[in-house]
Structure formats: C-alpha cells, structure tokens
Amino acid sequence: MKAATHPAHVEGVTPRQAAQRLYDTGRRFASLPFGNRMLAIEIVRAFEGANVRFGDTLASGEAMQAVRYELQRICTAAIANPFDPEHLDAVKAESARFARQAGRASNTETQQ
C-alpha cells in the first residue's frame, strides 16, 4: 500500500508574514482587494509553492485588518528609503508629471 503524500501542515501564518509575502510577490497596499475573502485568496496565492493551504491562513476580519496594516507599514518604509529603486522610479515619474504640468502652465501664460 502506497503512503499518502500530503503537504506538510504549516502552523498558522501571522499577519506580518502574510504582509511580507504579499509585498515580496509585488502586491502593494493600494492594490489590495476590499473583501476579506479575496484578501485571503491573495495571501494563499502569495504563498504558492510553500505548502500553505487556505485553512492555514488567517480566518478573522481582525487578522485581515492586521495584514492590511502590516503591508501599509512595509510599503511606507520602502517609500521612505531614498535608495529604494521603486521609490526612485515613482519620484522620477512624479517629477516628469510636474514638469509637463508646469510646461503647460507656462505656455498658457505666454499665450495670454
């Protein structure tokens, strides 16, 4: 008789672990789904390949709120790091947008 192969059970995932895994897989606070059920699915997807099952993730509304809070803290810390490539790209994009708007404003002033 062949032994059943089940993935190893992972003891509960903490909100901090879930938030870090979401961040590592490219999810950011602003892009999180509103519903707790969809957030739980996103967490499981973030742990894909790590033997984490749906039942291992967080099951309460308070836990989902904690994941959102932790992910917001991670994102805020990354933005505060001036050498973070993602932050530098965002600053460059914002600067370019401002330059375009300032260029339009000066063009309209000279036309008047």
The 8-class DSSP code of residue 34 comes to S
Q: What is the pLDDT of residues 33-82, one digit of tens each?
A: 888 888 888 888 888 776 666 565 677 788 889 889 998 998 888 877 76
Q: Which among 34, 43, 38 is positioned nearest to 16, based on CA atoms?
A: 43
Q: Which among 13, 91, 107, 82 is positioned nearest to 52, based on CA atoms?
A: 13
Least confident of 10-14, 21-25, 98-102: 10-14
Does pLDDT of 7 surpass 50?
no
Query: How confident is the model at residue 2, as a pLDDT?
Result: 44
The tokens for 78 are 């990354």
Q: What is the pTM of this model?
A: 0.57
Backbone angles phi, psi at 99, to 5 degrees: -65, -40
